[in-house]
A and B are shown apart, each in its own frame.
Chain A
């Protein structure tokens, strides 16, 4: 048997070789440098600890070996991260949003901005953001955002990642504390998920289940966080979160009431989301007079409402009043974080996007305009569109009566939405770097 120090020293050298191998792949020079430097810094730190390890201190060896294992795992995942396997325009907007959620807490924790990398795994239910709980080895955390490989262009389903960004928010101690006290506690007030004893009684009554104290504690903490993340996902992704949620989770557990140690029963979560949706007024949208919107809204939400009405009382666990209060509290917190809170578009704007998709074209549509004053030379205008409005319009296009007549498959609608997000990225890149040089002086209203 190799001495522990020799073995771990060798493994650190192996990881160094592995890290260098990641540079064989084309990530783009700027993209790889930050990851390389961060992993290299961690590896140097671990190597230094291995050099002075006390062979008799088994606990320390175990901790160190575990950290080396995690670093090896992270670098391997980074090596396998290829943008050709996922919708990178969507990945970029998700990354921006997650960074905004982290931003104020990063400063408070004396850390640098976290690094996000994207990878694709097999299976339909693999959506995840794996956040590092601490930045112990350095001052920078690495988050892995996982997409299902077969859903490369299924951007309408990717709204599920809104839930996962909730977990990112929970990874920061200060923010977690605020979210727990102002949102989660309010959301769950009056439910069996406020104390260990209530939770234990409810599990025994509902599932005839008896858990050990540690398992009970762990399950309760996880369930509380999951309820929060559902609400978080809805508020940052908007109305398209729910149809994506239902499409996927219905397949995950068709009964909707199955026990899981990590997630609350789906029916109870779904019922909570429907209450939040009603409170937000997104399902009926008072005052709109667009057939283009009303028909698909009814077609989309009608069956969902019906589904919720069939949920047994035992699974309607969270009180609608608590859901409303928690929604308001979370909205207040999200307003602090730039561009994270979903804002409903004007009906005319949304109707225009739906029409573009039903015409078989992307939602971003350059307009030719005439200035209201000055010379009448026409100019091009690209009004920015929030990617969440594109996704909402995408779902409405899917439920629109005209979709079949125009032979627009689900795949085509998804790809048009993906293309729209890409076009917006092009416009943003142009605006950020070049537009000031070329915009004509007479442009404007």
Chain B
């Protein structure tokens, strides 16, 4: 599983096999990665919204309860270009990339923070794997590990994506991501396919 070089990234885009747009300048393309820019929205965890993360809230088959739990958890902010968004120390924000990406079925992506931002305390909580065939924006889990707030602006390069070949026989065999064709960040379903282990609220114990 080799890392794809910038020459091949450019080939894939030029040949229409991979969609990655908008790329605003060549400086966005590194030797083995493409820089990703901050999009125009942030979901910020709302301290007063919920007391704790409870998988049982996701397991409930209750339209109001499930939806409310997810909506109450985050404050949603949208900001235009050249408008500031402050990320405070200890905060977690789900943000979209400005770029839309559509990967071929034999290429996967790996998203990481940019080191220059990491040195300011801005981190991306996880190294995101982007499945082959994924189509949509990429959600980044930003956190401020520093001591002081960080001002962010939509359009800034805050992350980078590297691409890897996937063996052809694996392509097409994987499950479609629950985030396929995402237009904006949203909470994931943390108990998907794990509900058997979660005693959801109101459930009667079987004897």
A83/B78 contact (C-beta < 8 A), A359-B19, A361-B19, A380-B26 known: yes
A426/B98 contact (C-beta < 8 A), A83-B78, A83-B80 known: yes
A430 at the interface (CB under 8 A from B): yes
- Which chain A residue has the least Cβ–Cβ distance from B16? A365
B108 at the interface (CB under 8 A from A): no
**CB-CB contacts below 8 Å: A200-252 with B:** none
Q: Contacts of A359 on B, CB cut-off 8 Å? A: 19, 102
- Which chain A residue has the least Cβ–Cβ distance from B27? A438
- Which chain B residue has the least Cβ–Cβ distance from A368? B14
A397 to chain B, nearest CB (A): 15
Q: Contacts of B82 on A, CB cut-off 8 Å? A: 429, 433
B187 at the interface (CB under 8 A from A): no
B76 to chain A, nearest CB (A): 6
Q: Contacts of B22 on A, CB cut-off 8 Å? A: 364, 366, 382, 423, 426-427
A3 at the interface (CB under 8 A from B): no
In the complex, A53 Cα to B181 Cα: how many Å? 62
> Are A28 and B80 closer than 8 Å at their CB atoms?
yes
> Are B10 and A365 closer than 8 Å at their CB atoms?
no
Q: Mark interface residues in B19-37 (1 if CB within 8 Å of A CB, else 0).
A: 1111111111100000001
A366/B23 contact (C-beta < 8 A), A378-B10, A429-B82 known: yes
A87 to chain B, nearest CB (A): 10
Query: What is the size, in residues, of chain B's interface with A at 8 Å between Cβ atoms?
Result: 33
Query: What is the size, in residues, of chain A's interface with B at 8 Å between Cβ atoms?
Result: 36
B40 at the interface (CB under 8 A from A): yes
- Which chain B residue has the least Cβ–Cβ distance from A438? B25
B135 at the interface (CB under 8 A from A): yes
Q: Contacts of A380 on B, CB cut-off 8 Å? A: 23-26, 28-29
A417 to chain B, nearest CB (A): 11
In addition to A362-B100, A422-B40, A429-B82, 19 A-B residue pairs with Cβ atoms within 8 Å of each other are A28-B83, A83-B78, A88-B78, A88-B80, A360-B102, A364-B22, A366-B13, A366-B21, A367-B13, A378-B14, A380-B29, A382-B21, A382-B24, A426-B22, A426-B37, A426-B81, A430-B155, A438-B27, A440-B26
8 contacts between A and B (CB under 8 A): A88-B80, A360-B135, A361-B21, A366-B22, A368-B10, A426-B98, A429-B82, A435-B24
Binding site for A on B (CB under 8 A): 10, 13-14, 19-29, 37, 40, 76-84, 98, 100, 102, 135, 154-155, 181, 183
5 nearest CB pairs, A to B: A368-B14, A28-B83, A366-B21, A366-B23, A429-B81
Binding site for B on A (CB under 8 A): 26, 28-29, 31, 83-84, 88, 92, 359-362, 364-368, 378-380, 382, 412, 415, 419, 422-423, 425-427, 429-430, 433, 435, 438-440
